[in-house]
């Protein structure tokens, strides 16, 4: 005779929720005329659709010779370098600003702690 598995009420609740919550999620997405899988990906933060990449090139691609990529004009490269330098300067400025604000926050925390101690001392006198 097979033994019956005994579960607590909480364990039964968890098992029901494991089935009920995903079913409700998919049902709500379906009723809202959305793709349930896509809404789940959005909720998990995977906004970009998954693209499957072929391992083997197709027959049409295999027959065509590879075309060399044209070199980027030097004007584009110079503008990219200037934009890169400007962004690096901006990053350094923001890092310095962050360091300053972190120091300010630490000072304010110390000041708040000292004021709390002072208030406690005044209340207990």
- The answer to the question of residue 100 being in a domain is yes
- The answer to the question of residue 2 being in a domain is no
Structure confidence at residue 5 (pLDDT): 83
Residue 86: which pLDDT band, with cuts at 50, 70 and 90?
very high
Q: Is the pLDDT of residue 10 over 60?
A: yes
> Which residue in 98, 99, 122, 118 sits closest to 110, CA to CA?
118
- The answer to the question of residue 82 being in a domain is yes
Residue 80 and residue 123 in one domain: yes
pLDDT tens readout for residues 34-54:
888 887 788 777 766 555 555
Helices of type H across 1-125: 9-31, 36-44, 59-63, 74-123
Q: What's the domain count of the chain? A: 2
- The answer to the question of residue 119 being in a domain is yes
Residue 84 and residue 122 in one domain: yes
Residue 80 and residue 36 in one domain: no
pLDDT tens readout for residues 11-31:
999 999 999 998 988 888 888
Tell me what the pLDDT averaged over the chain comes to.
82
- The answer to the question of residue 59 being in a domain is no
Distance CA 102, CA 53 (A): 45
Q: Is the pLDDT of residue 9 over 60?
A: yes
Distance CA 16, CA 9 (A): 11
Distance CA 2, CA 103 (A): 67
Start-to-end CA distance of the chain, whole Å, equals: 75
Residue 42 and residue 81 in one domain: no
- The answer to the question of residue 19 being in a domain is yes
- The answer to the question of residue 70 being in a domain is no
Residues spanned by the domain of 18: 8-47
Structure confidence at residue 39 (pLDDT): 78
Residue 42 and residue 84 in one domain: no
* Residue 54, SS3 per DSSP: coil
Asked if 29 contacts 35 with a C-beta cutoff of 8 angstroms, the reply is yes
Structure confidence at residue 33 (pLDDT): 85
Residue 105: which pLDDT band, with cuts at 50, 70 and 90?
very high
């Amino acid at each position: 005779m097979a033994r019956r598995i005994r579960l607590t009420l909480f364990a039964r609740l968890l098992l029901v929720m494991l089935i009920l919550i995903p079913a409700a999620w998919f049902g709500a997405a379906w009723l809202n005329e959305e793709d349930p899988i896509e809404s789940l990906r959005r909720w998990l933060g995977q906004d970009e659709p998954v693209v499957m990449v072929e391992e083997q090139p197709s027959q049409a691609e295999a027959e065509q010779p590879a075309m060399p990529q044209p070199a980027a004009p030097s004007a584009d490269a110079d503008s990219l370098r200037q934009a890169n330098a400007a962004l690096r300067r901006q990053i350094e400025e923001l890092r310095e600003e962050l360091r300053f604000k972190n120091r300010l926050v630490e000072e304010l925390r110390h000041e708040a702690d000292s004021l709390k101690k002072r208030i406690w001392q005044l209340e207990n006198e």
